[in-house]
Amino acid sequence: MVKINGKEQDASGKTIAELVSEGGYKTERVAVELNLDIVPKSKYTDTVVKDGDSVEIVGFVGGG
Amino acid sequence: MIPTKEEMLEALAKRHGAQMQKKLSDASVAVCGLGGLGSNISIALARAGVGRLHIIDFDNVDISNLNRQQYFPDQLGMPKTEALKQTLARIAPYCEIVSDTVKLTQDNIPLLLKEEPVICEAFDSPDQKAMLVNTVLETFPEKFLVAGSGMAGTYSANLIHTRRVAGRFYLCGDETNGVAEGEGLFASRVLVCAAHQAHMIIRLIAGETEC
């Protein structure tokens, strides 16, 4: 199981790009941390998550 | 006659304690974006006696800003950096203000923010917010970063919170309610988020790393 934004999900083997898109986020509006390290946008398509990983997807909304 | 630097410092130290005031006086914060968040955050930090502020924005003061941003009708058309500098100089004449009237990009952030220990994201557009957060986290993992997301509408002010996403990255806001058709920004709710960001920064300066 992979922890995504605090919830355990059966997502082992998926890429960060897939998790972002399945979560309904737009790539240009997110920051993603994998096990507390930032994942560069250029690595979204080839970073694969595995059991025990913790992923935090922060989606930004407009206003300031 | 405005008070001397010593008189102002003494007044601050009386309220904050000498030790805390020394930390604030020695602190430097970069505020990226000087809209509803950034203008209010800068003022809160200047009032607290933060010694140096690096304020950055490419835009000019517009009539549409006056519902929530700390500018005045007689400043319309001025660069926000210049307008805010005028106001900050009246509030905290001895605060060192460094300004850059420039649009921050992933290319110039590494140079412009390299000396800054604490970075505050205060942009309006979600793409720009994400760009700054990604660039700072990738380039400067050792710096503190305090960002804001989700403060539009008339939803409860109590939904706005501060959380530590990971390491030195903090996020304030309700994380949900962005600007949309019929969902505008109100000074009151934007200020709640700005206050969360400014307060987290003051806690970091004090050495408190929890939210």
Does residue B192 sit within a domain?
yes
Mean pLDDT of A25-46: 97
Identify the DSSP state of B146: E
CATH superfamily of A2-59: Beta-grasp domain (3.10.20.30)
CB pairs under 8 A between A and B: 80
Render the burial of A17-34: b for 16+ CB within 10 Å, e for the rest.
bebbeeeebeeebbbbbb
Which residue, among B145, B36, B32, B41, has the nearest Cα to B88 in the 3D structure?
A: B41
> Which residues in chain A have their CB less than 8 angstroms from residue B169's CB?
33
Does residue B30 sit within a domain?
yes
Contact A29 B129 (CB under 8 A): yes
pTM: 0.97
Which residue, among B84, B202, B64, B166, has the nearest Cα to B124 in the 3D structure?
A: B64
pLDDT of B83-100, one tens digit each? 999 999 999 999 999 999
What pLDDT sits at residue B52?
Answer: 98
What pLDDT sits at residue B6?
Answer: 97
Within 10 Å of residue B111's Cβ, how many Cβ atoms?
A: 8
Contact B130 A60 (CB under 8 A): yes
Least CB–CB distance from B126: residue in A29, A36, A41 = A29
Does residue B211 sit within a domain?
no
Concatenate the DSSP letters of all residues of B19-69 into one string.
HHHHHHHH-EEEEE--SHHHHHHHHHHHHHT-SEEEEE--PBP-GGGTTTS
Structural domains in chain B (count) = 1
Which B residues in the span 101-130 are in contact with A, Cβ-Cβ below 8 Å?
122-127, 129-130
pLDDT of A5-30, one tens digit each? 999 999 999 999 999 999 999 999 99
Q: Taking an 8 Å Cβ-Cβ cutoff, which residues of chain A contact chain B?
A: 28-31, 33, 36, 38, 40-41, 56, 58-64
Least CB–CB distance from B36: residue in A38, A60, A64 = A64
Note down pLDDT in tens along chain B; length 211 residues: 899 999 999 999 999 999 999 999 999 999 999 999 999 999 999 999 999 999 999 999 999 999 999 999 999 999 999 999 999 999 999 999 999 999 999 999 999 999 999 999 999 999 999 999 999 999 999 999 999 999 999 999 999 999 999 999 999 999 999 999 889 999 999 999 999 999 999 999 999 999 9
What pLDDT sits at residue B182?
Answer: 84
Report ipTM (2 d.p.): 0.96
Does residue B108 sit within a domain?
yes
Which residue, among B125, B118, B207, B116, has the nearest Cα to B170 in the 3D structure?
A: B118
- Backbone dihedral angles phi then psi of residue A9, each to the nearest 5 degrees: -135, 155
What pLDDT sits at residue A62?
Answer: 97
Residue with tokens 């969360």, as numbered in its chain: B196
Contact B149 A58 (CB under 8 A): yes
Structural domain harbouring B31: 5-206
What pLDDT sits at residue A47?
Answer: 98
Least CB–CB distance from B124: residue in A38, A56, A63 = A63
Which residue, among B120, B147, B131, has the nearest Cα to A28 in the 3D structure?
A: B131
What pLDDT sits at residue B181?
Answer: 85
